Amino acid sequence: MILTLFWAFPIIGALFTLFAPAFNARARWISLICAVMELYLVLQAGTGFWSGHLASLSEPGKFLTYGISYSFSMDGLSWALCLLNAFLTVIALLSSWKQDLSAGFWASFLFLEGAVMGVFLAQDLFFFYIFWEAMLIPMFFIIGLWGSENRKHAAIKFFLFTFFGSLFLLLGILALVVFHHQTTGVWSWDMNILRAPNHGLYAILAFAAFVVGFGVKIPLVPIHTWLPDAHTEAPAAGSIILAGVLLKVGVYGFLRVLLPAFPDWGMKALPWLGGLAAINVIYGALSAMAQMDLKRLIAYSSIAHLGFCVLGIASRTAQGLAGGSLQLINHGLTTGALFLMVGFLYERTHKRGLADFGDLVSQAPLLTFFFGVTVFASIGLPGLNGFVGEFMSLSGMAKVSLPIAVVGVFGVTIAAFYLLPAFQAVFLGERKPASVSPKVFDLDLREQALLWLLIIPMFVIGLHPGPLLNIVGPAIGKLIL
Amino acid sequence: MGIPVSVICLFVAPVSALLFGYFFLLKRKPQWMHWPMILSCAVVGVAAASIAAQVYSGHIVDVSPFKWMPLGSWSISFGVRLDGLSAMMLCLVSLVGGLIHVYAGGYMENDPAFGRFFLAFHLFYLSMIGLVVANNYVQMYLFWEMVGLSSYLLIGFWYQKASARRAALQAFFTNRIGDIGFFLALLILMNVYPVAQTRFSALFPLLGQGSPAISYVGWFLFLAAIAKSAQFPLYFWLPDAMEGPTPVSALMHAATMVTAGIFLMARSWPLISLVPHLPNTIAAVGALTAVFSGIIAATRKDLKRILAYSTVSHLGIMAFGLGLGEVSSAVFHLFTHGFFKAALFLCAGNIAHALHKPTASVDETGGLLKKIPVTAVFFVVAAFSLSGIWPFAGFYSKDAILGAAFDRGGWASVAGFAIAFLSAFYIFRMLFLAFLGPRKEQNPPEHPHEAGPMMNVPLFFIVLGALGVGWFGAQFYHLVSSGWLGASPMVKIPGFDWSSFTRSTSMAALGILAAYLWTMQWPSFDWVWRKKIPKVEKGFDADFGVKPLVGALTLFFEELSYLLGILWDKKTWDGWIENTSAWAEDAAKSVSSLASGRLNDSLWWILLGGGVMLLRLLR
Amino acid sequence: MTALLLRIAPLGSGISLFGGVLGVACVGLFKKINVGLVRVLGLLSLALAAVFVFAHPATGSISTLLQADAITKAWCAVFYVGALPFLIAGTWEDEVAVLLLLGSLLGMTFLAFSANLLMLFISLELLSLPVYLLVALTPAKGKPSWEAAIKYFFAGSLSAAFFLLGLACHYSATGGFLFAGNGSFLDQVAFSLMAIAALFKIGAVPWHFWLPDVYEASEPMLSGFLSTSVKAAGVFLLMRLGQYSQGSFISLLPAIGALTMLVAAFAALNQTRLQRLLAYSSLGHAGVLVLGVGAWLLLGANEKNALPIFFYLFSYVFMSNGAFFFLELTGVSEWKDLRGLGKTRPVLAFCFAALALSLAGIPPTAGFLAKFLIFWQAFKAGLYVPLIAASFATLAALVYYLRIVREMYLEEGVSTSKIAAGTGAVSLIVSLSAAYSAIVGFLPWILSAFQRVLG
Amino acid sequence: MNPWVWLISAALFVSGLCAVILRKQLLLMLFGLEIMISAALIPLVAQASAFQDSNGLAAALIILCVAAAEAVVGLSLILHLRKNKTLPDSDALMELKG
C-alpha cells in the first residue's frame, strides 16, 4: 500500500491543488507541502536500504486481467531515483516560488512527480507504460503554458516526438508479452519474467523498438532534437525536472526492461548500444560547443552526459552499471543546478544568451561560485560527483570495448571545452553595457539555500559515493554479465 | 594500518584553512585571508619535515584507510604512500610553497580580490600535496585534476583581462588533453590488472616484461606528463600562463603544477622503464623541449616570459634526465629547480612590484642594480644556480644529468652542450638587461623601490635554498631512494666529477660571456637584430609555428562544432524533422482533395474498392 | 426454460422496439405532439428491449433465421448505449426522429440475432433506411443535410446491391441462405461482395467518402449515434461475414484498416471545421476497428477474443458521443472558437481535452486502453506491418488532437463567439463521457467485467 | 445452371451500375440501383427453381419488398431536393467536401 501511496499521493495532492477552490489560492503552499511530505515518505522508506538489510520493498501484485497485475516494487535503484525525483520536485517548486503562477503550474509538477514515481516503481509493463505516457501531459502543459516565447511549438514537438518513441516502446512491450505467451501459454506483463527470444529477426526488431522507445527519452542521437527546443522553452522549474528526472526514465527503462529482457542476445547488441552512447557523448559535446544560448548549451550537455549513463550500462559490468546508475543521479543534481541558476538569471534579466552577459562575478559573486562549482562537477572534475559516475562507466566500458571507452574519454575532455568558455563568457567576460545586460542581483537566501541543497550532495557523492553504491549495487547485481 | 598524525595534518590543516577562509573571512575580513593559509603552511611544513625524517630513517607508510568507490571486488580507495619520492616532493612543496605564500601576502596586499586569491592559492597547494602523497593512480588523478582546476583559477585570476581568461582556458584545455592520456592509462591498467592494483605498491611488483597493454599505459602516462609538464609540443600553455600574478607563476613553476608531470613519470618509472623505446623517446622529447624553449627564451623581452620558457627548458632537462634513466638526478634537479626558479620568479615579481606593474619587459628595465640591490643580489645567486655554476645548487643537479648525457654520447651530448650554453645565455642576458645598463633603448623607471620584508624575507630563504641545497646530494639520494618501487635500484646521484664539471662549466661560462657580448658589449645588439631581420623575429614570436598551429587547431574545433551543432544538427537534421509537418500538410491536402464532394466519384471509389476485393480472390 | 427464454429474447426485444415505434407513431397522431412523452416511450421500449436481451443467459440457435451468442448480446449493448444519448438529449419538434431511431435500433437488434444471410440483409436495410431519413431530417445548423442524405443513400444502396449480388452468389453456391459457406470460388466471391457492404457501413477506405459529409451535415448528437451504433452494426456485419467466409477477404482487412487510419489522420489535418474533423477522427477509429476485426478473424474468431473490439466500441460510444455532444453543447464550429476555453470555461475545456486525448489514445485514458487491446491482438496475429502503419497514423492523428488542447489552453486570446449554455442533459452526457474517458484507462480490471459479457 | 442466366444477370447488373456511376440525373441513378437489385435477383430465382427450393423464391419476394422500400426512401429524398433546387442533379450536391 505504501508503494501505491508513493505515486498516488502527489497526484491526489495535485487534484486538491487544482480543483479545491479553497486550496486554489494557496496552491503553491499546498503543492510544496505535498512535495515535502512525499520527500519525507521516500526518505522514510529508504531506511532499510541505507542500513543495507533490505534488498527491495515490494507489494504482492494483484492480478487483474489478461496477465496484467497491479504490482509495484522498490529496490535500491528505484529508491535512489524516487528520492531524486522527490527532491528535485521540491527544488523545482521552490525555484519558482516568487513568480506569479496559477494553480495549474504547481499541480502539474505534482502530477509529474506522481507519474514518474509510478514509472520507477511499476513492475508490470502495462502500468509502466501508462505512467510513462502520463508524464507527457503535465510536461506538455508546463512547457506550453509557462515557457518562453516559442513555447507552443516546443510543447507540441516535445509531445509528438516522445509519443513517437512511446509507440515503439509499446510495440516492444507487445513483442515481449506475445512471445512469452507463445512459449508458455501464459499472459504476463511482469518485467521480471518477460524474456525475448535469443535470436532471429523478431528479437532484433524488438530490441530496436525498445532502443528507439527508450532512446527518445534519453535522448539518443539522432532522435534527440526535441530536447534542445524543449529545454530552451521550458520554464526553469520545468527544465530542472525535465533534465533531472524525465531523461532518467529512458535509461531506467534500459536497466529495468531492456537488459533483463535480452539476457543472451542482448550481449551481441551491447557494443552497438555502447557505440550509440559514444556517439551521443561526442555529438552532444561538439554540438554544445557551438551553442550561444545557455539553456540550449546545457541541453546538449545533457545529451552528452546521458551518453555516459548508457555507456556504463551497456557494458554490463558491475562498475559500468553502478557508474551508469550513479551518473543518473549526478546528472540530475548538476544539470538541475545549472538549469536552476540559468533560471535565476532569466528571472532577473529575461535573457539567456551567452552574449547577453559578462562579468557577472562582480555583481553576483555567490551565483558565480555556485555556477563554477556546478560547471566543474559537470565536466567531471574528480572530487565532485560527475567524475565518479563517468569514471566507473568508462572503466566498465573499457572492459568490454576499449575503443568505445576511448571515445568516451575524449567526450569527458570535450566537456570542458564547451562549459568553461560559457562560464567565462557569462561570469567573467567583458562587462556588457547596461542596455544589453541589466543589473543582476545576487542570490537571496532562498536561492542560496536551494543551491546548497544541490551542491552539498555533489561533494558528498564525489568524495564518498560508497553509501549510494551500496544502495544501488544489489539492484543492478543481477544484470551483470 | 594506523595513519600517522602528520599525514592527517597534511590534509586537515589546508582543508580547514580553506573552509574557515571561505565561510568566515571572505565576506567580512578578506584582508586577513592569508593568515590561516600561512598557518596551515606552517603546520604542513612541520608535518612534512617530520615525515621526511621518518622516511629518511627508512620508515615507509602505505595505507589505504578509506574506500572511495567501493563496489565489491571493484573498489578504489583513498590512501597515502609516504616514501622517498613523496617525502621529497612534500618538502619541496611545503617549503617553497609556504615561503611563496608569505611572499604573496606582501605582493598581493593591494589587490581587491585578496581573499579569493588566497583561497585559490591554497587550494593549489592542497592539491599538490594530495597528488604527491597519493598511493594509487586513481587518487593521483583526482589531485592531478584539482591541480589543473586551481591553476585555471589562478592563471585567470585577473579575469578582467581578456588575455588572462584566454590563457587560463588554454592552460586548462591543454592539460585536459594530457588528462585523456592519464584517463586512458587508468582504464587500460584496470583492464589488465585487478582494480586494487592501481595502487603503486601492488602494481609495480606485478609488472611483467613489457606486455603490450602496459606499454600503452606507459605511453599514455607520458602523454599526461607532456601536457602537465609542458613538454614539446604541448608546452605553449605555460608561457601564456604568465597572465596570473607573479606568486602564482612562482608556485606553478617551482613547486606545484609543472613538477607534477615529472613526478608522475618518476613515480611510474618502474612501469615506464619497461616499455620499449619509451625512455629514449622521453629523453629525446626532453632534449628537444630544452633546446627549443631555451632558444626562444633567449629572444623574449618580457621578464616573466623569459623565465617561463626557461622553466619549459628545465622541465625538458628533467625529462631528458629521466629518459636517460637518471631518476634520482632528475628529481634532484626538480628539487633544486624549485628553489632557484622560485627565487627568479620572485625577483621578477620584485621588479614588477618596483615598477608598479603586473609584469615588466626588458625595455622598461635596466640599471636596477643600484636601485634595488637586494633583489639584484638574490637574482645573481639564482642565475648562477640556474646556469649550473659551481658551487650553486643548480650545478649539482644539472651536472648529474649532463654527465649522464655526455656518457651516453652522440645526440645526447650535443643536446647537453646546447642546454648548458643556452641556460647560461638566456638567464644572464636577462640579468644584464635588467640590472646593468641602462642601454639607450631602455626606459628604466625613475623611482623604483625595494620590496618590503614580507616579500624579501621569504625570498631570502628561497635564495638560500638556491644557493645551498645542492650540497646535500647524498642525503637527498638517501631520502629519495627509500621506498623505491622499481625492480632495479635508483641510479646514484654522481658526486663532483672534474671532467663533466669542466665541460658544463665551460659551456656555461661561454654562455655568460656570449650574453655579455650580446647585450652589453656590442651596442644594442639585442635590439638591432630585431629590426634587421624581422622575419626571424616573427618566427621566434610564433614559437616557430607552434602558436599558429594551435590557433588553427582551435579554429578547426570551433568550425567543426559550428558545423555539427548548428549547420547539421539544428538547421539540417532538425530542419528535416520540423519539415515533416510541412510534408504532412502536403499529404493532408492531397488526401483531402480525394474527397471531391462529387457523388459519382465516391461511387467510383466504391466500385474500385470492390474490384480490389475481388481481384484479391484471384491469387 | 432456457430454450423458452432464448426464444423470447430476440422476439421480445424486437416486439418492444416495434411497440415503441407504434407508440411513438400513435403519439404523432395527436395534434399537439408531446415530445416528452415520445422520449419516455422511446426510452421505455429501449429499456424493455435491453431487458429481453440481457435477462437470460442462454445462447444458441433459435430458429433458422435467428440465433444468439455472446457477441449478439455484447453488440446489442453497444447499439443501445450508443443510441441512448441521442434519445435522452436530442431536441426535436415532432416524433419522427424517435420513430426512425427506434426503427433503426430494431434493425440492429435483428442484425445481431440473425442466423441467416437473408435475415442479415433485411435487418441491414431496416437499420439503414431510417438512418438516411434521419440524416436528412436532422441537419446541423446551416448544413445541407439533404445533400448528405442523398450521398449516403446512393452509396449505401450501391453497396447494398453488392451485398445482394453476393447473397445471390452465395445462394447459388450453397443452395441456401445459411452463413456457412462451402469455400468454392463463387462462394468466396459472394463473401467478398457482401463484405463491401459491411466495410461501407463502417466507413473503411475507399468506401468512406460519404462519412465525413454525413457526420458533418447532421446534427452533432445524431453524428454521435451514427458514429457509434451504426458503425458498431457495420463491425458486427463484418465480423459475422468474416467468421464464415473461409478466407477470401480476411487477409485484406488489416491493410484496409491501416490505410483507413492513415487516410483519416491526414485528411483530418486539413480540416478547419471541428465537426468534420471529428468525422475524420471517427473514420480513423473505424480503421482501428477494421484492423481489430482482421486480427480477430486471423486469431480464430472466437467469442472470447472479441473483447478488444467490444471494449473498443463500448469506450468509443463514450468518447465519440462525448465529443460530438460537446460541439452540440458549446456550438463551436471552428478552431478559433475554442481559443481560450481553458480559461473561460475550465471544466468544459477539461472535458473536451480529456475526450480528445482519449480519442488520440494517450494513457491513462479509456481510448488508450481500447486501442492498446486492439494493437495487442493485432500483434498477436502477427500483423506487424499494418501495426507500424497504424502507429504512424496514431502519431499523425495526435497532431490534430493536440491542436484541440493547444487551442483551448496554450493560445492567447479568448474566443469571441458565444458559448451556448446547453441543456442539462447534454452537459451531463459530456461530463459523464469525459469522466469515463479519463478514468477507465487506469482500471484495466474493468476488462474482466467486459469479458464476463462475452462469456 | 444455365450460363445464360448469369450472362443476362451480369449484363443487367453492369448496365445498372453504369447508370448509377456514370449518370448524374439522380432519378436515373435510382433507376439504375433498382436494375442492379433486379439483376441480382435473377440468378437467385433461377437457382431457386433449379434447386426446387421455395425458400429462394420467397427470399426473392422479400427482397423485392425491401427494394421497394429503398426506392421509396430514395424517391422521397430526391423529391425533397427537387422542391428546393431546380435540378435533381448529382453535380448540384457539392457543398460538402474536403
> Which DSSP string corresponds to B335-396?
HHHHHHHHHHHHHHHHHHHHHTSS--BGGG---HHHHSHHHHHHHHHHHHHHHT-TTSHHHH
What is the C-alpha separation between C447 and C42, in angstroms, rounded?
30
Q: Is the pLDDT of residue A53 over 80?
A: no
List, run by run, the mean pLDDT of 10-residue segments along chain B (619 residues). 78 89 85 87 89 86 85 83 88 88 84 86 90 89 90 88 88 90 89 78 74 85 90 86 85 84 90 87 91 88 87 91 87 89 87 79 78 86 87 84 83 87 88 79 74 82 85 83 79 77 84 85 71 81 83 89 90 90 91 89 92 86
CA angle B44, B47, B53 (to 5 degrees): 140
How many CB pairs below 8 A link B and C? 84
DSSP C61: E
Q: What is the DSSP letter of B109?
A: T
Neighbours of A124 (CB within 10 A): 25
CA B382, chain centre distance (Å): 21
* CB contact (8 A) between residue C410 and residue A145: yes
CA distance, residue A416 to nearest chain B CA (Å): 7
CB contact under 8 A, D96 and C118: no
Q: Pick from C394, C410, C444: which is nearest to A126 by CB?
A: C444
Looking at residue A414, what is its pLDDT? 87
CA distance C136 to chain D (A): 8
Compute chain C's Rg from CA coordinates: 21
Q: Of B165, B232, B226, which Cα lies nearest the Cα of B546?
A: B232
Supply φ then ψ for residue B80, to 5 degrees.
-125, 145
Choose among A421, A154, A428: nearest CA to A291: A421
Helix H segments across A147-264?
Answer: 151-184, 201-217, 226-233, 236-241, 247-253, 259-261
Residue in C201, C261, C270 to test binding to B, most B beta-carbons within 10 Å = C270
| CA end-to-end span of chain C | 20
pLDDT value of residue D86: 60
Q: What is the predicted pLDDT for the residue at A295?
A: 92
- Collapsed DSSP state (helix, strand, coil) of residue D74: helix
Is there a cis peptide before residue B391, judged by omega within 30 degrees of 0? Answer: yes
D80 touches chain C (CB under 8 A): yes
Comparing CA positions, the residue from C392, A376, D90 lying closest to residue B597 is D90
pLDDT for residue C330: 87
Residue A189's identity, in one-letter code, is W
Interface membership of B410 toward D (CB under 8 Å): no
Distance (Å, rounded) from C-alpha D18 to C-alpha B600?
11
* Residue D93 C-alpha, separation from nearest chain C C-alpha, in angstroms: 6
From CA B393, how far away is CA B36, in angstroms rounded?
32
Q: What is the mean pLDDT of residues A385-408?
A: 90
Helix (H, G, I), strand (E, B) or coil at C178: strand
**Chain C residues within 8 A of A134 when measuring between CB atoms:** 363-364
* Cell 529575461, located at residue: A350
Please name the helix (run of DSSP H) or strand (run of DSSP E) that holds residue B566, with its range, or none.
none
Q: In this complex, do C441 and A130 lie within 8 Å of one another by their Cβ atoms?
A: yes
B3: left (phi over 0), alpha (psi -120 to 50) or beta: beta
Residues C383 and A252: their CA atoms lie apart, in Å, by 29
Helix B373-387 with B453-468: angle, nearest 10 deg: 30
Determine the average pLDDT of the residues in A431-457: 85
D84 at C interface, C-beta within 8 A: yes
**pLDDT higher than 70, residue A24:** no
Q: What is the number of alpha carbons within 13 Å of residue B36 lying toward its C-beta?
A: 26
Total Cβ atoms within 10 A of residue A196 = 25
Q: Name the A residues in 210-249 with CB < 8 Å from any B CB.
A: 222, 225, 228-229
Judged by average pLDDT, the poorest of A265-279, C266-280, C286-300, D63-77 is A265-279
Name the one residue in this structure whose C-alpha cell is 435475415.
Answer: C119
With contacts defined as CB-CB under 8 Å, which chain C residues touch D13? Answer: 161, 165
Per-residue pLDDT of chain C (455 residues; tens, 9 = 90+): 666 766 777 788 888 889 988 888 888 888 788 888 889 999 999 999 998 888 776 677 888 888 888 899 899 999 999 999 999 988 888 888 999 999 999 999 999 999 989 999 999 999 999 999 999 999 988 888 988 999 999 999 999 999 999 999 999 898 889 888 888 889 999 999 999 999 999 999 899 999 999 999 999 999 999 999 999 999 999 999 999 887 778 999 999 999 999 999 999 999 999 999 999 999 999 999 999 999 999 998 888 889 999 999 999 999 999 999 999 888 888 888 888 888 888 888 999 999 999 999 988 899 999 999 999 999 999 999 999 999 999 999 999 999 999 999 988 877 766 666 666 889 899 999 999 999 888 788 888 888 888 87
Which fold is adopted by the domain D3-86?
Helix Hairpins (1.10.287)
Comparing CB atoms, the residue among B179, B558, B562 nearest residue A413 is: B179
What span, in angstroms and rounded, lies between the C-alpha atoms of A162 and A226?
A: 8
CB C348 within 8 A of CB C112: no
Q: Do D96 and C217 touch (CB under 8 A)?
A: yes
3-class state of residue A220 by DSSP: coil
**A75 alpha-carbon distance from chain centroid:** 18
Task: Compute the distance between CA of residue B45 and CA of residue B9 in angstroms, rounded to an integer.
Answer: 10
Which of B552, B547, B556 is closest to B239 using CA atoms? B547
Question: Region A427-441: what's the mean pLDDT?
Answer: 78
pLDDT of residue B285: 92
CA pair distance C366, C372, nearest whole angstrom: 10
Least confident range of A48-57, A231-240, B276-285, B329-338: A48-57
Cβ–Cβ below 8 Å for B187 and A394: yes
| Predicted local confidence at residue B1, as pLDDT | 47
Q: Is A233 helix (H, G, I), strand (E, B) or coil?
A: helix
Taking a C-beta distance cutoff of 8 angstroms, is the pair C360, C323 a contact? Answer: no
DSSP D12-58: HHHHHHHHHHH--BHHHHHHHHHHHHHHHHHHHHHHHHHHT-HHHHH
At residue A379, does pLDDT exceed 50? yes
Q: Please, is B201 exposed, middle or buried when counting C-beta atoms within 10 Å of its C-beta (0-12, 13-18, 19+)?
A: middle
Phi, psi (rounded to 5 degrees) for A381: -75, 130
What's the angle, vertex CA A351, arms to CA A347 and CA A354, rounded to 5? 130
Single-letter code of the amino acid located at B125: Y
B619: exposed, middle or buried (C-beta count within 10 Å: 0-12, 13-18, 19+)?
exposed
Q: Which helix (H) or strand (E) holds B76?
A: strand B76-82
Alpha helices in B470-545 (DSSP H): 473-481, 498-516, 525-532, 534-541
d(CA C131, CA C149): 9
Q: Classify burial at B349, counting beta carbons within 10 Å of its beta carbon; exposed 0-12, middle 13-18, buried 19 or more.
A: buried
Q: How far apart are CA B189 and CA B179, in angstroms?
A: 15
Q: What range defines the domain where residue C373 resides?
A: 2-453
- When mean pLDDT is compared across A239-253, A388-402, A411-425, D75-89, the lowest value belongs to D75-89
Q: Encode burial over A21-47: b for 16+ CB neighbours within 10 A, e otherwise.
A: eebbeebbebbbebbeebbebbeebbe
In the DSSP assignment, the letter for residue D98 is -
> What phi and psi, each to the nearest 5 degrees, are found at residue A25?
-70, -30
Residue carrying the nine cell digits 626571424 = B536
Which of D90, D93, D95, D96 to mutate against chain B (most B CBs within 10 Å)?
D90
User: Mean per-residue pLDDT for A356-370?
Assistant: 87
HEC sequence for C97-117: HHHHHHHHHHHHHHHHHECEH
Residue A26: phi and psi, rounded to 5, are -105, 35
Chains near C with 3+ CB pairs less than 8 A apart are A, B, D
With CA atoms as reference, report the closest residue to B147 among B165, B174, B161, B126.
Answer: B126
How many structural domains are present in chain C? 1
**The cell 536551494 sits on which residue?**
A450
How high is the pLDDT of residue B524? Answer: 66
What is this model's ipTM?
Answer: 0.90
Position C5 scores a pLDDT of 67
Question: Distances from the Cα of A345 to the Cαs of A164, A371, A440, A443, in angstroms?
Answer: 34, 11, 8, 10
Secondary structure of B306-339 in HEC code, one letter for each residue: HHHHHHHHHHHHHHHHHHCCCHHHHHHHHHHHHH
